[in-house]
């Protein structure tokens, strides 16, 4: 497992802690309000976007134009004059959820670009203009798309808003589980809009064509020691701890050095405190040397690490899988000393 090396994902590179990091970075220059806030643009400037040939869905308890939450950006050219207002987040049984929202230009003198409609792309890691986060289950919900790549959403014709103008539309996402009562909306230009309450839809919103498969991705977190000696990658269910080979072993050696036990004891305690019944240990090298040297070296290092951890853990029922990959699976560039150091590692993966 490795974050982009998070391949396989349910792709995405966000953390439980990564949620906090991403949300925190955007919050540094912007503000979020809920319950409607202040400074609502004059309704006479509203410009309702045409919807997909059906009535816009709305929650049974939410007035159509009364936002339940909103967020203002200060990271674009227009500064704090662009606002995203969430009117409702309505769940249509277990099929999908619909975010109904407005984009408002609060400026009295400058036009503002709108968010662009999401597009289905070949690269699953491409950033979408809007996504929903289920913080309870640590998942990211990608917008729903028709098989032709267009979003399952209201018509989204405007690319800019005149001063004082507002556009209202909606966007569908895969439905969250029944135990989720609120979600967070991420947009490309505003801080996250947190804890949007989910209401039951009171109108139908049929699709106009065949929908592509829904995509819900696990959120992945990554943390690294300042000195680069240890890093960890997490999904909701799994943990992968990567230890620098430079700390565990002497140069080109496969015997653990005197510093290794302290580090491996920490990992062993995590394994003991987990639900793991099996542990995978993978050895890796940089690209100096040849495969005939690097692959056996990485295998030997993984094996001796397994032997030590199996003695340090208290659970004798755990099974171990060991593999050595040589230089075939880098996580950094081998063109620099720092990158090569990152690639020399032993990764220990287990269920939480």
Residues 175 and 247 in one domain: no
**Choice among 51-65, 78-92, 165-179, 284-298 with the minimum mean pLDDT:** 51-65
Locus of tokens 């507002």: 166
The answer, yes or no, to whether residue 204 has pLDDT greater than 90, is: no
* The Cα angle at residue 270 between residues 265 and 272, in degrees rounded to 5: 90
Q: Is 110 among the domain residues? A: yes
* Parent domain of 132: 16-218
| In a shared domain, residues 260 and 198 | no
pLDDT per residue as tens digits for the range 24-35: 443 333 444 444
Q: What is the pLDDT of residue 122?
A: 62
Final residue of a domain: which of 183, 218, 253?
Answer: 218
Q: Which residues contact 20 (CB under 8 A, 6 or more apart)?
A: none
In a shared domain, residues 166 and 242: no
Cα separation, 243 vs 228, in Å, equals 9
* pLDDT over 80 at 126, yes or no: no
**Using CA atoms, how far apart are residues 285 and 293, in angstroms rounded to an integer?**
10
Residues 207 and 247 grouped into a single domain:
no
Same domain, 209 and 298: no
Q: Smallest Cα–Cα separation from 149: which of 187, 114, 118?
A: 118
Q: Which stretch of 63-67, 83-87, 106-110, 237-241 has the lowest confidence by average pLDDT?
A: 63-67
Dihedral angle, C-alpha 29, 34, 36, 42, nearest 10 °: 10
Give the pLDDT band of residue 16 (cuts 50, 70, 90): very low
- Which of 218, 250, 271 terminates a domain? The answer is 218
- The number of folded domains in the chain is 2
pLDDT tens digits, 274-318: 999 999 999 999 999 999 999 999 999 999 999 999 999 999 899
pLDDT per residue over 251-286, tens digit each?
A: 999 999 998 999 999 999 999 999 999 999 999 999
- Compute φ and ψ for 148, nearest 5 degrees: -85, 5
> Confidence band (pLDDT; 50, 70, 90) for 125?
low
109 and 159: one domain?
Answer: yes
Q: Which of 59-63, 66-70, 180-184, 228-232 has the highest mean pLDDT?
A: 180-184
Q: At what angle do helices 260-272 and 291-312 cross, to 10 degrees?
A: 60
Q: Is residue 260 part of a domain?
A: yes
On whether both 122 and 196 belong to a single domain, the answer is yes
| DSSP E strands, the chain | 31-34, 46-48, 69-73, 82-92, 96-105, 112-113, 130-134, 139-141, 160-161, 166-174, 182-187, 193-200, 216-218, 221-224, 230-234, 238-244, 278-284, 319-324, 345-351
Tell me, yes or no, whether 1 lies in a domain: no
- CA 222 to mean position of chain CA atoms: 11
Give the pLDDT mean for 17-21.
41
Top pLDDT among 173 and 61 is at 173
What digits encode the pLDDT tens for the residues 156-171?
A: 888 899 999 999 999 9
């Amino acid at each position: 497992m490795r974050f982009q090396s998070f391949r396989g994902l349910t792709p995405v590179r966000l953390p439980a802690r990564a949620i906090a990091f991403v949300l925190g970075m955007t919050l540094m220059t912007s503000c979020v309000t809920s319950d409607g806030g202040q400074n609502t643009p004059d309704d006479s400037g509203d410009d309702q976007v045409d919807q997909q040939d059906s009535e816009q869905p709305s929650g049974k308890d939410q007035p159509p134009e009364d936002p339940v939450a909103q967020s203002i950006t200060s990271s674009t050219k227009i500064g704090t004059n662009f606002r995203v207002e969430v009117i409702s987040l309505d769940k249509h049984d277990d099929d999908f959820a619909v975010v109904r929202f407005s984009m408002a230009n609060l400026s009295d003198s400058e036009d503002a670009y709108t968010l662009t409609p999401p597009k289905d792309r070949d690269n699953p890691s491409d950033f979408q203009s809007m996504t929903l986060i289920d913080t309870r289950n640590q998942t990211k919900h990608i917008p729903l798309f028709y098989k032709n790549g267009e979003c399952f959403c209201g018509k989204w014709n405007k690319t800019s808003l005149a001063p004082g103008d507002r556009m209202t539309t909606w966007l569908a996402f895969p439905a969250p589980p029944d135990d989720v009562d609120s979600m967070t909306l991420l947009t490309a230009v505003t801080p996250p809009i947190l804890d949007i309450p989910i209401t039951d839809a009171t109108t139908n919103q049929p699709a106009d064509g065949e929908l592509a498969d829904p995509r819900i991705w696990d959120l992945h977190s990554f943390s690294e020691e300042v000195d680069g000696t240890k890093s960890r990658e997490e999904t909701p269910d799994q943990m992968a701890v990567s230890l620098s080979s430079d700390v565990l072993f002497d140069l080109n050696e496969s015997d653990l050095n005197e510093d290794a036990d302290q580090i491996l004891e920490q990992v062993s305690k995590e394994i003991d405190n987990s639900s793991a019944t099996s542990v995978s240990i993978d050895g890796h090298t940089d690209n100096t040397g040849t495969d005939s040297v690097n692959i056996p070296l990485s295998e030997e290092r993984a094996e001796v690490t397994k032997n030590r951890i199996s003695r340090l853990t208290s659970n004798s029922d755990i099974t171990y899988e060991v593999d050595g990959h040589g230089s075939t699976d880098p996580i950094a560039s081998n063109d620099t000393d720092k990158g090569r150091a990152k690639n020399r590692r032993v990764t220990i993966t287990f269920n939480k």
